Amino acid sequence: MNLIQSLLIFVLAGLCEIGGGYLIWLWVREGKSITLIAIGAILLTVYGFVATLQPANFGRVYAAYGGIFIILSLLWGWQIDQTAPDRLDWLGAAIILAGVIVMMYAPRS
């Protein structure tokens, strides 16, 4: 699997998890339609399957995914909740992304 495919899988997994969690959040915190729970639960289940498509072992994939999740959460909050990340959020995201790249894609002997 190449780098682009792997990153796309991380993004798809992240959107499923964040989107599913957000829909449940809307029902619990904002009193939106109960239908959102079912859709959210489906998305969270899909996330569980999508993450298994990564080529690395469970621990590495989930550790690296945590970094991707943080970055996607900042972007989700910025676009969906209209809360812009500040410069320290972006600095932290850059550091995290560097860690993800090392963990997942650095050559190993």
Residue whose pair of structure tokens reads 């495919």 in the numeric block = 5
pTM: 0.83
Per-residue pLDDT averaged across 16-35, rounded?
A: 95
Give the amino acid at 59. Answer: G
Per-residue pLDDT averaged across 83-100, rounded?
A: 95
Give rounded-to-5 percent helix, strand, coil for the chain.
80, 0, 20
> For 50-62, how does the pLDDT look when each residue is reduced to its tens digit (9 = 90+)?
999 998 889 988 8
Whole-Å CA distances, 36 to 4, 15, 16: 31, 15, 13
